[in-house]
């Protein structure tokens, strides 16, 4: 092999090695980004999950108050209505907070 051919081969190998290193750096960046996305999704899922648990509990409390109102003939209906309306407001607040978390997670 001539000196020129050896120099060309060495230059080619050097260039290929440089490209390989660059590709490896990008592979690392992509893998790190995937981890960050997974963590962000998990954080959003956890936060929304917590909000949904609260929403379900508020919903069940409102349902229970309604059931009690229907079954208790001597109940203070105005008071029960105020309680249920308050619970529904709480439910709306938790629901809206959950939607905000989902939107923030998408943004």
pLDDT at 1: 65
Q: How many residues does the chain have?
A: 107
Which pTM does this prediction carry? Answer: 0.57
- Segment 67-73 long-range contacts (CB within 8 Å, at least 24 positions apart): none
- Where are the domains positioned within the chain? 3-106
| Angstrom distance (rounded) from CA 48 to CA 20 | 42
Residue range 35-68, pLDDT digits in tens: 887 887 888 888 888 888 888 888 888 888 878 7
Q: What's the whole-number mean pLDDT along residues 74-102? A: 81
Q: Could you tell me the pLDDT band of residue 21, with boundaries at 50, 70 and 90?
A: very high
């Amino acid at each position: 092999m001539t000196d020129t051919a050896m120099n060309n081969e060495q230059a080619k190998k050097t260039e290929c090695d440089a490209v390989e290193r660059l590709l490896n750096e990008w592979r690392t960046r992509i893998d790190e980004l995937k981890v960050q996305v997974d963590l962000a999704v998990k954080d959003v899922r956890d936060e929304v999950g917590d909000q949904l648990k609260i929403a379900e509990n508020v919903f069940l409390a409102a349902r229970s108050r309604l059931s009690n109102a229907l079954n208790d003939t001597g109940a203070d209906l105005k008071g029960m209505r105020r309680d249920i309306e308050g619970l529904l407001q709480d439910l709306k607040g938790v629901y809206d907070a959950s939607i905000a978390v989902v939107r923030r997670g998408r943004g």
